[in-house]
Amino acid sequence: MYQLTTVTKRYQRGKQTINALEGVDLTIATGDQLVVQGPTGGGKSTLLQMLGALDRPTAGSVSIDGTDLARLSEAKLTKVRAATIGFVFQSFNLIPTLSAQENVETALVPLGVKPAARRKRAAEALQLVGLGDRLRHLPSELSGGQQQRVAIARALVKEPKVLLADEPTGNLDEDTRDEIMGLLAGLWKDRGLTFVLVTHDSSIARRAPRLAVINNGRLKVTERTP
């Protein structure tokens, strides 16, 4: 379970101070899905970085299952990211020189999984997202939707507790967007993941059971009854 208490994040850009998050309080229960929406520069990605142990708050605390991420060393944050959190990015962020299977394997490298087991698990994860026949393809040889599936396989291959997706359909056409959203929703339900999705897409936001809107660093959560 995530517990964010009066989280503030400020950046210094030259002489200007940017208040990316302002006293954010948020609770996300294990297995919940939260959709975060808001204008560009409103603080969506910063919130996701706090949840993903990629950054520390300037003030307040971000705890996951009772562990305050703000107090952990860099090495321990890295361990949390390696074992607990899966990321899906808007631009897929695949390593261009590695094949689909090798890209998925990169998520298992920090866990010390042996190469043979890595290959097997990566192949299974790609099979799961419907790319069993594209294991050796480079990202440049795959369509946008296929690349995002590889990214999803990479996020899920280590069986994380949390899946964080930063506008995963932002670079995809409508059909592919629905395909990917269907895949993510299915995985969330099947695996009992805590799923946080940042999106600009109102059609996705409308379907979300829980919606958080962030603007100028301030968060407002709307609960919807199914």
Which residues, 157 to 196, sit near another protein by CB under 8 A?
Answer: 158, 166
- What radius of gyration do the chain's Cα atoms show? 17
Residue with tokens 């394997």: 105
Q: Which of 23, 31, 79, 178 binds another protein (CB under 8 A)?
A: 79
> Distance between CA 17 and CA 20 in Å, rounded?
9
Binding mask 106-135 for another protein (x = CB under 8 A): xx-xxx---x--x-----------------
Q: Could you say whether residue 1 binds another protein (CB under 8 A)?
A: no
Residue among 198 and 205 whose Cβ is closer to another protein: 198
Residue count of the chain: 226
Q: Per-residue b/e over 7-42, b at no fewer than 16 CB within 10 Å?
A: bebeeeeeeeeebbbbebebebeeebbbbbbbeeeb
> Distance between CA 92 and CA 148 in Å, rounded?
5
Q: Which of 34, 38, 57, 87 binds another protein (CB under 8 A)?
A: 87
Residue among 40 and 225 whose Cβ is closer to another protein: 40
91: helix, strand or coil: coil
Q: Could you say whether residue 39 binds another protein (CB under 8 A)?
A: no
Q: Could you say whether residue 93 binds another protein (CB under 8 A)?
A: yes
Q: Could you say whether residue 221 binds another protein (CB under 8 A)?
A: no
**Can you point out the beta strands (E) in the chain?**
2-13, 16-28, 33-37, 59-64, 67-68, 85-88, 162-166, 194-198, 210-215, 218-223
Stretch binding another protein (CB under 8 A), from 30-38, 93-101, 141-149, 179-187: 93-101
Stretch binding another protein (CB under 8 A), from 100-108, 126-134, 181-189, 212-220: 100-108
Query: To the nearest 10°, the Cα dihedral for 166, 172, 176, 181?
Result: 10
Q: Which residues bind another protein (CB under 8 A)?
A: 45, 49, 52, 54-55, 74-75, 78-79, 81-83, 87, 89-91, 93, 95-98, 102, 105-107, 109-111, 115, 118, 154, 158, 166
